[in-house]
Amino acid sequence: MKSESGNVRRLKLARLFLANHLTYFLARLALGPLGRRLRSYQKVAVRGILSELHAAFSGEKPVILASAFVPTELIYGLGAIPVLPEVWSGFAAAAGFSAPAVTASEGSGYSQDLCSFHRCSLGLENLELLPKPAAVIVSSHLCDGGRCSLYRHSRSFGCPFYVLDVPYAATPDGVAWLAHQLERVAQDLVLKVPGLSLAGLPKALAAANRARSEYLAVCRLRRNQPAPWAGSEALNYVAVFLSGWGSPWLPEFYAQLRTHLEETIRLGAFPVSDERHRLLWLNLRPYYSSSIFRYLEKECNTSIAFEEYSHLYWPPHRPDAWAESLAAKLLSHFGWGPIERRLETIWNLVQEYGIDGVVQFNQWGCRQSNGGGRFLADFLRERGVPFLELAGDGVDGRSSGTAQQLTRIAAFVELLDARNTPSPARGTKAIPR
Amino acid sequence: MLVAGIDSGSTATKVVLLANGQVGATYTAATGADPQRAATRCLEAALAQAGAPADAVKAVVATGYGRERVSQADRTLTEITCHARGAHALVPEARTVIDIGGQDSKVIRLDDAGLLLDFVMNDKCAAGTGRFLEVMANRLELDLDSFGEEWLGAKEAAKVSSTCTVFAESEVIGLIAAGIPRPAIIRGLCEAVAARVASMARRVGLVPTVVFTGGVSLNAGVRRSLEKLIGQEIVVPPLSQFMGAYGAALFAQDLAREKAEAAGVSR
């Protein structure tokens, strides 16, 4: 935990760095010699994110703020930079800025009952750590708090605000209704925001399709036992999974990741030695602390083999029908619609990734998906898969007890140890080697 | 063969010595600010009670929040696993274990073989724990041991709506000021704790036989309130307060046997 004066100094520095061209120049330069410590896929991500930050803070390209499940292909395709405030809250937590940001938003009148991801992003705005957006787009599904929180951003910055009203049912009528809205939003943005055009949309969707193919190969490799990629790192890259689709660098990122995983399997250099158990992680992670993941991976030889939020759920795009494709993506989310849809998805993941136990991180911050916990517990219990609901906050470290979380995790691993037999899911599907 | 189980709890440290599978000695003392010192003191006192030297102990397993601070431990395990093992050893028909300690409460489900099936723990705060009762006993200027007797003396329970320790204490102050009889307040407090724990228990499924362990299991008021709420008889086994340490001692016994077997093989 940083002191107040330390926080003020670090925030001033962060503002200074983000707004300065020299920062990006030096950072790119440093990626050469210092980059040797980074893996190839990590370098691609760092380069991509740096160039977007530069473009966003220098005003080189318009910025569009979007809620977490708005398809970013739309924003890249229009020629803008997507900034997802929820994702930025995760970055802020990892960088140690979430506590001052959350405190700042609470100080400006937001209740502690509001989602901590949104409290954090509103605080980042107060602290001038968000780039000035040209527009804000939210989707009405999967997140209750986002609509009003992001509307606040649009009011503060005086920019247009759009809501994509996602119907509950994924019917052809639903796709048409949503596609129509996407077209209207895109056309309005082109009229109101200088520098945007519809011309880049097919290209963005084609890039997303290329990334998709590479990503599916990554997923196949992640079925390997032992797990070739540490789940603690994979959970960090959920940020890229949420915000990178449609970017020109995402296909290369996943291609490099695929090569890295192939190499890891070939060399047998697995991140978790003597893998004892394989977990499926549901929902997000606490971004301000890595203690539980270090404990799982290093002390308990337990891998997070896959994460719910890393699951690719949409069909390939048709670049010639961008609006319908993006509507289909929005409607394909397994968390939208009846709970059975999510349960079926989780069961498929349990089988595909040879999972021994499932951990749901019950995010106090927004409580998104916590409501389904009871269904999930019953569903998995009936199938003989141990399930742990781990309560905590994703970004607000002030209200989470790591010691308590560690006890629960340790007990869960002991529960898996006590069974000493693979779960029914293990070995039911051939695992590609 | 002498082995030890040490439960370094948030409020109290408990030690159980097993001599050839039988309980040789038990000892408990406040954990205080130094779990290591408390564990050493309790272990020494238990050894003195058993009349055994320290080097006679063949294996030590530590559990509880301070388990990683116990330097004597050959192995550490969570209190969930240890309470399950201990409860099943003493009550083989146990399928649900309710453990209420100083800082947390938990409900553990066991299968027929005594293996962990599921568990749930209290979140965030001290509601439904021994600490909650301690604070209230302090406010009522009463010994915790007398809660059972006071509970029996209550015609009805005062309504204590909050399970937050700080807010509930304010409520108790209000009830005292309103002239509510002390037994009624105590019964209300016991019911508040029981309601909290019963709802946790329902989450993992309340399968009989239900065993009650941890320091609060000695509180007859909470036990009676729980029985009333869940509609089942609750078994409070001997050593209920020492169950974590007893379970740890059983694991220590396994460990000592493994060590002996390994030594035999290497010879």
The CATH number linked to B25 is: 3.30.420.40
My answer on whether B73 and B145 are in the same domain is: no
My answer on whether B50 and B144 are in the same domain is: no
Q: Is the fold of A4-197 the same as that of A203-419?
A: yes
Segments making up each domain of chain A, as ranges: 4-197, 203-419
How confident is the model over A80-102, as a mean pLDDT? 89
Predicted structure pTM score: 0.87
Predicted pLDDT of residue B135: 85
- Give me the residues paired with residue B75 across strands: B61
My answer on whether B108 and B193 are in the same domain is: yes
How confident is the model over A299-310, as a mean pLDDT? 96
pLDDT higher than 80, residue A429: no
Could you tell me what percentage of chain A is helix, strand and coil, using 3-state DSSP and rounding each to the nearest 5?
55, 10, 35
My answer on whether B115 and B232 are in the same domain is: yes
Extract the runs of DSSP E, i.e. beta strands, from A191-331: 277-282, 302-307
**Interface residues from chain B to A (CB-CB < 8 Å):** 65, 77-81, 104, 115-121, 123-124, 203
My answer on whether B174 and B134 are in the same domain is: yes
Nearest-neighbour CA in chain A from B265: distance (Å): 24
Q: Which fold has domain A203-419?
A: Rossmann fold (3.40.50)
- Cα gap A218→A207, rounded to integer Å: 17
Task: Please indicate whether, in this complex, the C-beta atoms of A377 and B203 are within 8 angstroms of each other.
Answer: yes
The residue among A244, A234, A240 whose CA lies nearest residue A281 is A234
The residue among B41, B76, B50 whose CA lies nearest residue B61 is B76
Nearest-neighbour CA in chain A from B78: distance (Å): 6
Predicted pLDDT of residue A365: 72
Residue type, A3: S
Task: Please indicate whether, in this complex, the C-beta atoms of B115 and A418 are within 8 angstroms of each other.
Answer: yes
DSSP-derived secondary structure for A15-80: HHHHH-HHHHHHHHHHTTTGGGGS-HHHHHHHHHHHHHHHHHHHTSS-EEEE-TTS-HHHHHHHT-
* Tens of pLDDT, residues A114-149: 888 888 999 899 888 899 999 999 999 888 778 888
* Tens of pLDDT, residues A47-58: 999 999 999 999
User: pLDDT band for position A432 (50/70/90)?
Assistant: very low
Average pLDDT per block of 10 residues along chain B, 267 residues long: 94 95 95 94 96 94 94 95 96 95 89 90 74 84 82 85 79 90 90 88 90 91 91 94 96 94 73
Name the residue with higher pLDDT: A427 or B88.
B88
How many beta carbons lie within 10 A of that of residue B223, not counting itself? 25
Nearest-neighbour CA in chain B from A414: distance (Å): 7
CB B109 within 8 A of CB B119: yes
My answer on whether B135 and B259 are in the same domain is: no
My answer on whether B140 and B86 are in the same domain is: no
Predicted pLDDT of residue A197: 97
Predicted pLDDT of residue A175: 95
Q: Which of A403, A404, A414 sits opposite B77 (nearest CB)?
A: A414
* Tens of pLDDT, residues A212-266: 999 999 999 999 999 999 999 999 999 999 999 999 999 999 999 999 999 999 9
My answer on whether B266 and B160 are in the same domain is: no
My answer on whether B69 and B8 are in the same domain is: yes
The residue among A392, A431, A381, A90 whose CA lies nearest residue A278 is A431
pLDDT higher than 60, residue A1: no
Residue B171 belongs to domain spanning: 92-236
Beta-sheet pairing, B96-100 with B75-76: unpaired
Beta-sheet pairing, B75-76 with B22-30: unpaired
State the distance between the two ends of chain B, measured CA to CA, in whole angstroms. Answer: 19
* Tens of pLDDT, residues A25-49: 888 878 777 677 889 999 999 999 9
The number of folded domains in chain B is: 2
pLDDT higher than 70, residue A76: yes
Q: Which fold has domain A4-197?
A: Rossmann fold (3.40.50)
